[in-house]
Amino acid sequence: MQLTDDADFFPEWRSPQASLSPLEQQLLDRVKQNFQTLLEDPPLLEDGVKMVVLAPLLDLAGFYQKPFRIQTESRIEITAEDQGAIVRGRIDVLVLHDRLWVLVIESKRSDFSALRAIPQALAYLLANPQGDRPSYGLITTGNEFLFLKTDGTAKRYANSRLFSLLNPGNELYDVLQILRALGTTLQPARS
């Protein structure tokens, strides 16, 4: 796959978003505070990241409600025909609408760089059974958040900027707005 810098390829993460309510901001501030408190005894392992940061985000994004479904630890297998390689793994969280993949989420422990997980997340995105549609992913360490998009041909991908809880303010606000936007725009049209 080839990384593209074409801004028109992945506009979804840049789209203007509806503002968050004061209560939602308060909840996200608490998530950030909880994460920072847990970092006092590093490292926060992958399951802790999913519980403390990812679960509240998925809830606030509406992914626990219909029309979405959540699958955890979904097993995938990809065979690269030209190189004879087989990649096996488990997607940490898969958000579905009917049987269509909405979002693939790969979480890592807090002391892991989100950038190092890009190849693994791209491999998972390539396993999307709806290979003719764009696929979206999120990599998170609890501290860092990176969104990915692949095209339907599996030839190109792009990423968002890296969001971090180390930055001033609370970038969980941006992450939640992007999750909501993806959930809204990616619901397939009913036939």
Residue 74 maps to a domain: yes
Q: What is the pLDDT of residue 121?
A: 86
Number of separate domains in the chain: 1
Using CA atoms, how far apart are residues 148 and 153, in angstroms rounded to an integer?
A: 15
Residue 9 maps to a domain: no
How do the pLDDT tens digits run along the chain, 191 residues long?
Answer: 899 999 899 999 987 677 899 999 999 999 999 989 988 887 767 788 888 899 999 999 999 999 998 888 766 655 555 555 555 566 778 888 766 677 777 777 777 788 888 888 888 888 887 778 888 999 988 889 999 999 877 689 999 999 999 899 999 999 999 999 888 876 554 33
Distance of CA 184 to the CA centre of its chain: 15
Q: Kindly report whether the peptide bond that precedes residue 67 is cis, defined as omega within 30 degrees of 0.
A: yes
Which DSSP letter does residue 14 get?
T
Q: What is the pLDDT of residue 187?
A: 59
Residue 113 maps to a domain: yes
Residue 44 maps to a domain: yes
Residue 191 maps to a domain: no
Residue 10 maps to a domain: no
Residue 122 maps to a domain: yes
Ramachandran bin of 140, using left for φ above 0, alpha for ψ from -120 to 50, beta for the remaining angles: beta
- Domain extent, residue 91, equals 20-185
Q: What is the pLDDT of residue 183?
A: 87
Decide: helix, strand or coil at residue 142.
coil
Residue 85 maps to a domain: yes
pTM of the model: 0.86
CA geometry: angle at 13 spanning 141 and 170, to 5°? 50
User: Which CA distances in Å does 88 have to 75, 157, 182?
Assistant: 8, 21, 26
CATH of the domain at 56: 3.90.1570.30
